[in-house]
Amino acid sequence: MEILSIKKTQEITRILKDIYGLELGGIFLLSGSNKIRYFEGDIDIKSINNLFKNINVESVGIYFGKLFNGEIRLSFDSANLFKDRIMKNIIEISKEEMDLWFKGNSLHKDAKDGFYIIKHGKDIIGCAKLSNSTIYNYVPKEKRFRKGII
């Protein structure tokens, strides 16, 4: 796990503002395969580095999302944690579309390609990639509804 440099942090901050209208002031960390973690609290970067050097620390902060070619797909938890601060790239879906979504289906919407927060009413139900009018479902199989539940 590595604490991102000021330059990389500024890049992440810019991407979040461009895609989601989201402005954050905490510490970003990068773990394997472009997974981003986020920490906001009373401990500073120097103290976190000391922890890494002196203790076997597996993680700091929350799993925030994943970096893909200059874009960030927010995790379900991050999307919900910051839902009141996310201002852009939100797609509202119907109850019927939500039912399909939780069964693992992709959806179709006419919008610009990119990552979007998927929302039904006041509920954030995920973050997904829209490409060629298809919203690709990233809901893990273990979190999907099984047949007969709905």
* pLDDT per residue as tens digits for the range 100-110: 998 889 999 99
| CATH 2.30.130.60, the chain: domain bounds | 89-150
The CATH T-level fold of domain 89-150 is 2.30.130
Q: Report yes or no: 127 and 72 within 8 Å, Cβ to Cβ.
A: no
pLDDT of residue 148 exceeding 60, the answer is no
- Please give the mean pLDDT across all residues of the chain: 88
Specify the CATH number for 1-88; select among 3.10.450, 1.20.1440, 3.10.20, 1.10.10. 3.10.450
Asked if pLDDT for residue 111 goes beyond 70, the answer is yes
- Within the chain, all domains assigned CATH 3.10.450 are found at 1-88
Rounded CA separation 83/119 (Å): 10
**Is the Cβ–Cβ distance between 45 and 26 less than 8 Å?**
no
